[in-house]
Amino acid sequence: MSGQPTPMMQQYHALKREAGGSLLFYRMGDFFELFFDDARQAAAILDIALTSRGEHGGEPVPMCGVPVHAAENYLARLIKAGCRVAIAEQVETPEEAKVRAKREGTPSSKALVKRDIVRFVTAGTLTEEALLEPRRANLLVALAEVRGTIGIASCDISTGEMVLEECEHALVDAALARLTFSECVVPEGWELGPEGAVERAKSEFGSDGGAAALQRIHGVATLDGFGDFSRAMLGAAGGLISYLEHVGRGSLPLLLPPRLRDAGQAMAMDEATRSSLEILASQSGSREGSLIAAIDRCVTGAGARLLAEDLAAPLLNRAAIEQRLSLVQWFHADPLNRADLREAMRNLPDLGRALGRIVAGRGSPRDLGQIRDGLNDARRIRDFLARLPDTPDLLAGLLPALSGHGALTDLLDRALVPSPPTERSSGGYIAEGYDAALDELRAISGNSRRAIAAMEARYRDETGVAALKIRHNGVLGYFIEVPARHADALMAPDSGFTHRQTMAGAVRFNSLALHEEASRIAEAGGHALAAEEAHFEELMAEIVRAREAIARTAAALARIDVSAGQAERAAEGGWCRPEIEDAALLDITGGRHPVVEAALARSGERFVANDCRLMPDDRLWLIGGPNMGGKSTFLRQNALIVLLAQAGGFVPAESARIGLVDRLFSRVGASDNLARGRSTFMVEMVETAAILAQATSRSFVILDEVGRGTSTYDGLALAWAVVEAVHSTIACRCLFATHYHELARLAESCEALSLHHVRAREYKGDLVLLHELSSGPADRSYGLAVARLAGVPALVVARAKQVLDRLEKNRTETGGLAAGLGDLPLFAAIHEEEEPPRDSLAERLNAIDVDALSPREALDLLYELAAEAKATKS
C-alpha cells in the first residue's frame, strides 16, 4: 500500500468518508476488517489483536478484524462502549465483478468486488435479539422546536411503537428522564440536546416533512385518525424518520401508527425525583436495588418492558387506574388460574421484537416460527381466559386482540418446520408437503447423494482399492480420493478417471459419472434453496401485511402479563389494593418500603411498618429523629406507594387511601455534580427551587434535610422559609424530615403542620434505633450516639460531648437559634440593623474545658490562640 493507494484502499477511504464518525466494518471474505484509527479504537474495546496490512504514507496500516458469523457479539460490545458502526457489505459476487470489469474495460484480474454501506448500527436502532436486553425498551428519541414549543418523538424500533408529545423548555430534562432513551437526535447546533446527542441537518426537522413522512409510511391522506399532533411533534417525527432512513440506507424499520401522549395523562416527575426514588435503576445505575427489580414478576420480556413504562409514567386518570387495579385484583383473587396462566405465558416468544426484525428486513426463519407460535399461544390464552367468570372490563377489551389470526397461523403451520433454524442460507425450514416441486427437488438431491454412495462402492469393486472414497469440499466440489500408494491404478489412460490433485499422502481424481451426478445435486440443491427463499419472502410479506394486528396481540399479552405479575407480587408480600380518591389526602396504614423490605427479608430481618395520614387539615408532617432511624426510608416508601398505586398496582401496606397526585417530588440526599460545576449544596438548592416553582396543591413532596449543606444559621433560615412556602403558598401534601429542632416552632403558626419523629433510645451507652414513627417533636438528634455507632474514636466523641454541652448552655441562655422567629410575618421584607461583630477569640476561650486538656493539647491550643490574636490585630 505504499505510494499510490490500491483500488481496495481507495474504495475503503471512499466508504470511510461516507461513514463519518462511525467505525467502518469493511467486509473481506468471512471477516469484517477495520483499518487505521478505527482498528486502534476497536482493538482496544474488543481486546483483540491489532495487526497491520501493507503501508500507507510509509507507515504500516493498523488493522483488526472480527468473523462475520460472530459479528453480533462484537457489535454489542462496541455499541455498549458508545460507538456507532457502519456495515460495508459486498454487494456483488466475484463473478459479477469480473463481468462488470470486462464491461468497463478493466482486466478481470484487477476486478474489485463492489461494496456499499448497507446499514448503520447505533444504540437506538437495534433490532437483533443478541444486541437487545429482553426486559428493557430501546428508545430512539428526536427533539424539535417550533415556535418556542419542544416536540418529542420516541420510538422503539424493535417493536415499532412510536409516541409523539410536546413540552415546555423547562421540562425537557424531566421528559427525557422519563423516557430513558438509548439515543437522541437533535437539529444541528441545538443547545437543548443531551450530552452525546446525534446532530442532523435542521431541514430534516420540518413539521410539513414530518407529516408527509407519516402519511406516506401509513398510507393515509390525513393524520387526524391518529391524533391531533402539534407542529412541534411533527417536526420531531420528521427528524426521527429521516434519521431512521439514514441509518437504514433508505429502508425503514417497523413503525406503528404514532400515539399522542398528553402531558396531562401522567404524573410528572423530574430527573432528580426519578433518581432519588430509584424507580428503574439504583443510584449505581444497575437494575439491582431498584423499584422495578423488587416488584417485577413478569414472565415475558414484553411484560417487563411495559411494567417499566407504567412505573415511569403513572396515570392521572382515575378511571384508567381503577381498570388496571380491577384486573390485578381479578388475578389476585384466583391463584390457581393465575398460576396456570403464568405457566402458559412463560415460554411465549417475544412477538413484538420478532415482528420488528421481520418488518425491518432482518428476520430469520426462526422469527417466522416465533410469530406462528406466539399467535397460536395467544389464541389458547384467550380461550383459557374467556372461560373464567366475571371478566374485568380491561381484560374484556384485550381478549379480541388475542385471536383473529387464523388464516395466517394456518399458513405458517403448513409452511414451516416445527423448529425453524436461525440462518436461512442453508434452507431446511419449509415443511415437507407444503410445496410439491420443492419436495421433488429435495428428493432429487437426496437420491443423488444415495447414488454417490453407490458409485463409491462400485468404484471400490472396479479398482480393488478398498480405501477409495468420494469426498466433497467447497473448492473442488465432489472428488475421488485414494491413498498415494494406490494412485497408479487410477492413473492409466483407460481407467476412466482424471487426475485433479496430488496431496502429501493421497491423490484426488474425477470421473465423468461423478461430474454429472454432482451437477445434478448442485442444480437440484440450488433450485431447492431458491424455492425456499421465495417462500420465505412470501411468508414475510404476509406477516408485514398483518403487522398492526400482530402488534395489538403483542401489546395485549404484555398487559395481561403485567397484571398477573402485579397480582403475584401482591400475593407474595401481602399487599393491598389502594383506594383512589380525588381529595388531597394520603392515608396509609402499615406502609412499607418494597425495596428495603425485600433486602431485609433476604437477611432474615423484619421491616417495621409505619402509618402515614396526610389530610387537608394536616397535610405537612415535620419529622425529626436520629440519622439511620428510618426517616429517609419513611419518606421514600410513601412516595413509592403513591407511584405504584397510580401505575395501577397493589401497594405494600395494610390499607391505602390515595388522593390523585399530579406531580411527585423527592429531594432526598444529594451529591456533587462536578460536570456542571455544582456543589452538593447547589444541587440541593436547585432541586428545592424546582419544587417550589412547579409543585401544585395536588402534588406530593418529600424533603429531607433541606439546608444541611451550609452554615447552621443559613440552613435553618432556608429550611424555615421552605416549610412556610410549602405549607402556605403551595399548600400541598408534604413529608419534611429535618434535624433542626427549632422548626418545631412552626407548628404554632402553620395550622396544617404537625410534628413527628422516628423513635430511638440509648441503652447502656448504645443507641437502639426502633424505626417507628411517633407523634410529637424529637427530643434530640442522637448525633453523638450515631457517631459512636459508626466507629468514631471515643476521645473524639467525648470532646464533641463537651462542645455540645457548652453550645446547648449558650442556646438556653440566649433563647435558642429560633428565638423570635415566630413573630416574623410570612415572607415580610425585613431590614434589620447589622449585627455587631462577634469576638471570635473570646468565644473560643469560653468554649475551652481546661480540665479536659492534656499538657500537650494545652500547649498546642496556646500556640493557636496566639496566632489567631496576631491575625485579628493585623
Rounded Cα–Cα distance for residues 786 and 706 (Å): 20
Separation between Cα atoms, residue 237 and residue 234, nearest integer Å: 5
What cell does 271 get?
Answer: 430527573
801 labelled as ligand-binding? no
Contact between 541 and 359 (Cβ < 8 Å): no
Is 248 one of the annotated binding-site residues?
no
Quote the DSSP letter at residue 94. H
Strand partners, 268: 663
630 is in an annotated binding site: yes
Q: Cβ distance 87 to 117 under 8 Å?
A: yes
Q: How far is CA 558 from each of CA 305, 351, 391, 406, 743, rounded to the nearest angstrom?
A: 8, 10, 18, 21, 49
Report helix, strand or coil for 733.
strand
Measured at the CA of 751, the angle between CA 748 and CA 752, to 5 degrees, comes to 130
Q: What are the C-alpha distances in Å from 138 to residues 135, 141, 266, 364?
A: 10, 10, 21, 21
CA–CA separation, 351 and 367 (whole Å)? 9
The Cα–Cα gap between 200 and 124 comes to 15
Question: Among the residues of 755-832, which ranges form H helices?
Answer: 783-789, 794-814
Length of the chain in terms of residues written: 874
Phi, psi of 390 (to 5 degrees): 55, 50
- Judged by DSSP in three states, 574 sits in coil
By the 8 A CB rule, do 255 and 217 touch? yes
Q: Which residues contact 686 (CB under 8 A, 6 or more apart)?
A: 678
Round to whole Å and give the CA distance between 763 and 755. 25
361 in a known ligand binding site = no
Closest to 610 (Cα-Cα) out of 589, 627, 625, 594: 589
Question: Crossing angle of helices 547-573/351-359, nearest 10°?
Answer: 150
Q: What are 151's strand-pairing partners?
A: 144, 166
What is the dihedral sign for C-alpha 267, 271, 275, 280? positive
Angle at 215 between CA 214 and CA 217, to 5 degrees: 65
CA pair distance 25, 181, nearest whole angstrom: 25
As given in the structure block, the three cell numbers for residue 447 are 437420491
Q: Is 625 annotated as a binding residue?
A: yes
Q: Residue 698: which of 582, 578, 579 has the closest Cα?
A: 582
| Residue 685, marked binder | no
Annotated binding residue 267: no
The span from the CA of 453 to the CA of 469, in Å, is 9
- Which class for 734: exposed (0-12), middle (13-18), buried (19 or more C-beta within 10 A)? buried
Which helix (H) or strand (E) segment holds residue 150: the answer is strand 149-156
Known binding residue 628? Answer is: yes
Q: Which three cell numbers stand for residue 606?
A: 423484619
Check if the beta carbon of residue 210 is closer than 8 Å to that of residue 241: yes
- Coil vs helix vs strand at 123: coil
The identity of residue 73, as a single letter, is: N
Residue 236 grid coordinates: 420531531
**Locate cell 396462566: which residue?**
341
SS (H, E, C) 311-366: HHCCECCHHHHHHHHHHHHHHHCCHHHHHHHHHHHCCCCCHHHHHHHHHCCCCCHH
Q: Which residues are annotated as a binding site for ATP?
A: 625-632
Q: Which residues are annotated as a binding site?
A: 625-632
